[in-house]
Amino acid sequence: MKILMLTPYLPYPLLSGGQIRTYNLLKKLANTHEVTLFALIKEESERQYIPELEKYCHKVQVFKRSKKPFTASNIFHTAFSSYPFLVIRNHVPETRKAIQKELAKGSYDLIHAETFYMMPHIPQTTTPIILVEQTIEYLGYESFADRLKIPFLKSLLKIDINKIKKWEEFYWRSCNTLITMSEEDKQFIAAKIGDSTKIEVVSNGVDVEWFDEKKRNLPDAPTVLSVGTFNWLPNVEAVNFLVQEVWPKIKEKLLGAKLWIVGNAPTKQIFEYQQKDTSITITGGIPDIRDAFTQAHVLVAPVFSGKGTRYKVLEAMAAGTPIVATSLAVEGLGVTHGEHVLIGNTAEKLAELTVRVLNDQKLQEKLSSNGKKFTRAKYDWKTIAHKLDSIYKAI
């Protein structure tokens, strides 16, 4: 089949969950389909990664968006548009023209759009459209807005969130098939649009064999790991909660413990944590994420907002790293408390469970072994790609 795939990022290098997902699916789909990739980039230097993607794509074309989100142009256009900032920030007029031209000259079987904010680039067409929602965007922003203390900024953000919700739900209805990451996301969206028949679940996956290549190499000091890309608000909220609410309770019970925070694009506030507390280390993008998972005793994921499955949880399990997490952090994965992960939803409980793992080597080994078996059985990319392939063929 001929597929035109649209992404708001270049799917390489593997710095975010979206990039990991798209890259691995492209690798698997290349065996049976001809994929043309249209992707947005923020910097010209990203063009160096195009050859890596051309191994799996018939053609790759990129379009430059603004490097920084809060430009005067983006803010101005958002103020006078029915579209939210998220759409304006990712809108490149040349992309729409290029898609129109591509569809006119090529007989494509379908269009695959990653994220609803790529949808405005698609001109009117009879070609079937698959929309993939890696998360439900407006829910993450709602949670952030609820925590804002400045009334003026909170009001402005609420206006923009209403725009996100309006257009996100509009594109859920207008696409031919909608793909979510979990059954929970599917049911949430189905209740909003009154239709579950057009929604399919194609969960995120993990390269089990790749993670299994590196063996665990634990440091002497009990080490707690936090992983997440920091340009996604729920990840910022999770780290702030971990440092401010959970970590002090862990340190009280376990002297000498270390907290290692890893993730692309840390904020200034996050960097300041290590200046105030010598037990905390902040690392930005890490060349090989396996080095983080294999050198930590436990991953703690105190996620309280956003939807979609979490790559860091799947990757940690594939690497054999025990996990302590909130219910939302593992929602939709099908894991069992006490078997694959430990689940707590308060700072006190998360701290208690983390200390328990750090003090109990047999529990560490049990969670490590069960996590590896679980991801291999349910979340290998081969299985995920096969499900997506069956949806393509059905359409």
pLDDT digits (tens, 9 = 90+) for 213-249: 999 999 999 999 999 888 778 888 899 999 999 999 9
Domains 2-205+381-394 and 208-378 equal at CATH topology level: yes
User: What pLDDT is recorded for position 42?
Assistant: 95
pLDDT digits (tens, 9 = 90+) for 327-375: 999 988 899 999 999 999 999 999 999 999 999 999 999 999 999 999 9
pLDDT digits (tens, 9 = 90+) for 43-91: 999 999 999 999 999 999 999 999 988 899 999 999 999 999 999 999 9
Which residues are CB-neighbours of 354 under 8 A, at least 6 positions away?
A: 224, 246, 250, 298, 300, 324
Question: CA-to-CA distance for 239 and 234, rounded, in angstroms?
Answer: 9
User: What pLDDT is recorded for position 228?
Assistant: 87
pLDDT digits (tens, 9 = 90+) for 93-114: 999 999 999 999 878 999 999 9
User: What pLDDT is recorded for position 307?
Assistant: 62
User: What pLDDT is recorded for position 281?
Assistant: 96
User: What pLDDT is recorded for position 14?
Assistant: 85
User: What pLDDT is recorded for position 389?
Assistant: 94
Residue 247 tokens read as: 């970590």
User: What pLDDT is recorded for position 79?
Assistant: 93
Q: Does domain 208-378 have CATH number 3.40.50.2000?
A: yes
User: What pLDDT is recorded for position 15?
Assistant: 80
Q: Does domain 2-205+381-394 have CATH number 3.40.50.2000?
A: yes
Write a three-state SS string for the chain: CEEEEEECCCCCCCCCHHHHHHHHHHHHHCCCCEEEEEEEECCHHHHHHHHHHHCCCCEEEEEECCCCCCCHHHHHHHHCCCCCHHHHHCCCHHHHHHHHHHHHHCCCCEEEEECHHHHHHCCCCCCCEEEEECCCHHHHHHHHHHHCCCHHHHHHHHHHHHHHHHHHHHHHHHCCEEEECCHHHHHHHHHHHCCCCCEEECCCCECHHHHHCCCCCCCCCCEEEEECCCCCHHHHHHHHHHHHHHHHHHHHHCCCCEEEEECCCCCHHHHHHHHHCCCEEEECCCCCCHHHHCCCCEEEECCCCCCCCCHHHHHHHHHCCCEEECCHHHCCCCCCECCCEEECCCHHHHHHHHHHHHHCHHHHHHHHHHHHHHHHHHCEHHHHHHHHHHHHHHC
* Mean pLDDT of all residues in 4-12: 97
pLDDT digits (tens, 9 = 90+) for 101-158: 999 987 899 999 999 999 999 999 999 999 999 989 998 888 778 878 888 888 999 9
Residue 391 — pLDDT band, cuts 50, 70, 90? very high
Question: CA-to-CA distance for 393 and 379, rounded, in angstroms?
Answer: 21
Residue 334 tokens read as: 């099908």
Report whether pLDDT(26) > 80: yes
* Residue ranges covered by each domain of the chain: 2-205+381-394, 208-378
Report whether pLDDT(308) > 70: no
pLDDT digits (tens, 9 = 90+) for 175-184: 999 999 988 8
Report whether pLDDT(309) > 70: no
pTM for this predicted structure: 0.82
